[in-house]
Amino acid sequence: MPELPEVEIRRQYLEATSLKQPITSIQVEDTKLLTTDYMLLQQQLADRQFISTERIGKNLFIYTDNPAIILRMHFGMTGDLAYYHNSLDRPRHARIVFEFASGFNLGFICPRKFERVGLVDSVTDYAKSKKLAPDALSISFNQFITNLHKRNSPIKPVLLDQAVVAGLGNWIVDEVLFQAKVHPEKRASTLNDDELIAIYNAIALVLTTAIKFEARYRDFPPDFLIHVRKWDDSPYDDVEALSKCPRCGTKISRTEVGGRTTFYCPNEQILS
């Protein structure tokens, strides 16, 4: 699931492969994936080059050699990138393909069409209009608690709200609350200073760890809650081992909070 760490990895991948070469054309299989008219996209990007990138939360912005033409990518649940040369190597579900003059291609892989691509003319204006909060890795502690204090909902949906802090998704919020030892249903407005600091620090810990391991869950430290989720590449076969708290051995609870599947340790994350 492309949350902030996966998007960061894709950003680095795009920077390493696709900058500074003229775009010759763009193939789009399904215009539902576009937030900009297809013709306009073709016209605006023809002969342009990508020159740099910026990520805010789960949004990837790609600057071109025209400062008013910026491409935005959102990877939804399943989006990915693939840079390839031979058209025979075109991956499955590469529904949007940027063709470069070099003969190489950047494929935007959209298995479930939950992904979106389009142009924006200013990143700051875009963030403002979408009420996008500062990125989870750069938000200041003061800004973070200011945004949190306005809310009285359970902490989990508050952390998922991109207007509070940008980049946290379902599994990362569970991991953050587990590391901070805070119950997911605890009201945001009732958190004390220690809990707020623990959550803020856990966000940095979880995100930097995930980026360090290039979002490969199997490599994460053993005391991460991530291992209780059944990923396709989970290293464990033993369902019993999967369901235990990596710190205290208590059986992990699985519930729904804010309509999302939620895992937490009922022994260490207490609602008081």
Residue partners of 181: CB distance under 8 A and separation at least 6? 198, 268, 269
Which of 22, 76, 118, 266 forms a contact with DNA (CB under 7 A)? 76
CB of 213 to DNA, least distance (A): 18
Which of 162, 179, 209, 269 forms a contact with DNA (CB under 7 A)? 162
Q: Do residues 14 and 62 touch, judged by C-beta distance below 8 A? A: yes
Which of 150, 216, 218, 251 forms a contact with DNA (CB under 7 A)? 150
| Per CB under 7 A, 32 contacts DNA | yes
Which of 113, 195, 205, 247 forms a contact with DNA (CB under 7 A)? 113
| Per CB under 7 A, 100 contacts DNA | no
| Per CB under 7 A, 118 contacts DNA | no
Rounded to whole angstroms, the Cα distance separating 88 from 52 reads 28
| Torsion of the alpha carbons at 106, 209, 179 and 243, rounded to the nearest 10 | 70
Identify the CA nearest to 203 among candidates 231, 233, 178: 178
CB of 107 to DNA, least distance (A): 16
Which of 54, 261, 270, 271 forms a contact with DNA (CB under 7 A)? 261
Active site residues: 2-3, 58, 260
Query: Which is closer to DNA, CB of 111 or CB of 266?
Result: 111
| Per CB under 7 A, 153 contacts DNA | yes
| Per CB under 7 A, 58 contacts DNA | yes
Q: Do residues 160 and 261 touch, judged by C-beta distance below 8 A? A: no
Residue with tokens 């576009």: 34
Distances in Å between the Cα of 74 and the Cα atoms of 48, 121, 154, 155, 214 are: 21, 16, 27, 25, 18
Q: Which stretch binds DNA (CB under 7 A): 83-91, 111-119, 190-198, 199-207?
A: 111-119
Strand positions, DSSP E, the chain:
23-28, 50-56, 59-64, 70-74, 80-84, 94-100, 105-109, 116-120, 253-257, 260-264
Which of 20, 112, 149, 218 forms a contact with DNA (CB under 7 A)? 112
Identify the CA nearest to 158 among candidates 148, 144, 143: 148
Residue with tokens 């935005």: 72
Rounded to whole angstroms, the Cα distance separating 246 from 179 reads 11
Tell me, residue by residue from 200 to 239, as one string, x for binding to DNA by CB under 7 A and - for no binding.
-----------------------------x--x-------
Q: Which stretch binds DNA (CB under 7 A): 14-22, 193-201, 209-217, 253-261?
A: 253-261
Q: Which residues bind DNA (CB under 7 A)?
A: 1, 3, 30, 32, 57-59, 74, 76-77, 111-114, 130, 150-154, 157-158, 160, 162, 169-171, 229, 232, 258-261
